[in-house]
Amino acid sequence: MKGSASITLTPLPPRDARRLRQLLGLLARPRLTARHAAAVERLLGHPGWRPLPRLAAVLPIEPLAAHHLCALGIPLEAAFVPESSAAPLPDFRLLASNYALRRRALAEVLSAFGEAGLERVLLVKGAALAPLWPSPALREMEDCDVVLDPHSVSSATRVLRRLGWQRRRCSWGHPSGVSLDLQVATLPFARHVLETAVPHPVLAPWGPARIPAPSAHLLLLALHAAHHGGLRVWRDIADMQLLLEEGDARALVTDARELAARHDGRTALLAYLCVMEKWTRPLSPLLESAADPAVRSHVRLLEHLMAEPLTEFGLYALDSLTPRSPRILPAAAVALASLLPRRGARPAGARESQRDPLWGTIPSAGRLDRQRAKARVLLTVCQSGRLAHYRRLAAALRQFAAPRVFDPAP
């Protein structure tokens, strides 16, 4: 599909995978310090360095990496081979335009929520953190996550309909193409996040916008990342880096670990902290967690996903590769790919420029479009000779996956 990341199952050699983790471990941070900038220049200036493939794992933070490299006077092609993926190189003007659309739509919603008397509107993940990045447009995101108290949902939905938003299968859509994921805080940890939230330092003047307390936000990011099986590991690490850079990192980690112990989030949090300890920043003492078999296995999974060649959509499609998959799966995938139409319905207001290279199509595209892409992924996996490897990976992803923190708004 036009604008999609190519499906490749060729793994990186171990040495190249390690170099990729070293490079992105330096670049996966919103602010590049002088020490990290010098380390990037040394790594890319080494006589043995050669450009690496643009794997799917890189795409969520490729705009951020390109931004840092550009600031250092280093072209992106010095780090990554441009021809190694069908996904287009980052277009900073398009990123800025898309962020301006999201910012304008979110400002209108927050203002209307305030006029309607909604007092606690919690922004999480990208919607909350992007305005805190030095360059907000570089923070890749599919939608704006907004969390409400259950009693405020009916008022919020009336406001959204009045502003022209339309309810879709899993989100609310704006005519400009912006998506909003409306969620409610019902579980104990979700209620804790909502009750301890503080006014957003940038967006509060627009309306009742709040952001989770740093320790709760750090645990929330780890749990949300685990809910998605760690499939956006580099973007999640960049978000966590931002929180750790804003204050006392040691105190923040200690508070987050105490919170995780009370809300069954210890394994997910420690897995991410151990990966960051190894590849991005010192966070000791964390070494005692290495003795935990569950944490150890999740760290190995995250390190694999840091250099995974298959797209995020492809990894989601692995749910079909269970041990009970019939032997006719390759033939079934061929038949499905040939029968399904090449195009699904595109939502109103969506534009070609909003294609997501991770999914290979617009995130809210038609179901048939997604099914065809899934069949293509399954066919490629079945013909690659790596079916057993991806079955094991699918099982590991399911084991790592954590429950949702917030519930979808009814």
Residue in this structure with the two tokens 């409610």, named with its chain if needed: 184
Positive or negative CA dihedral for 184, 188, 192, 195?
positive
Of 80-94, 198-212, 288-302, minimum mean pLDDT range: 80-94
Confidence (pLDDT) at 220: 96
Between 140 and 162, residue with greater pLDDT = 162
Confidence (pLDDT) at 203: 93
Distance CA 44, CA 53 (A): 14
Confidence (pLDDT) at 345: 34
Assess contact for 344 and 389: CB atoms under 8 A.
no
- What is the value of pTM for the model shown? 0.86
Confidence of residue 320 (pLDDT cuts 50, 70, 90): low
Highest mean pLDDT among 122-126, 376-380, 384-388, 397-401: 122-126
pLDDT (average), residues 287-314: 80
Confidence (pLDDT) at 388: 79
Distance CA 177, CA 2 (A): 19
pLDDT (average), residues 291-319: 82
Confidence of residue 360 (pLDDT cuts 50, 70, 90): very low
- The token duo for 50 is 């050669």
Distance CA 359, CA 386 (A): 21
Between 211 and 245, residue with greater pLDDT = 211
Confidence (pLDDT) at 291: 64
Calculate the alpha carbon distances from 157 to 34, 107, 111, 164, 240 in Å. Answer: 47, 16, 14, 11, 31
Reported as a single tens digit per residue, the pLDDT across 37-71 is: 999 999 999 998 999 888 878 888 889 999 999 99
Confidence (pLDDT) at 43: 95
Reported as a single tens digit per residue, the pLDDT across 325-351 is: 544 455 555 454 444 444 333 333 333
pLDDT (average), residues 370-392: 73
230: Cβ contacts below 8 Å, ≥ 6 apart: 236, 271, 298, 301, 302, 305, 397, 400
Confidence (pLDDT) at 380: 73
Reported as a single tens digit per residue, the pLDDT across 108-124 is: 999 999 999 998 899 99
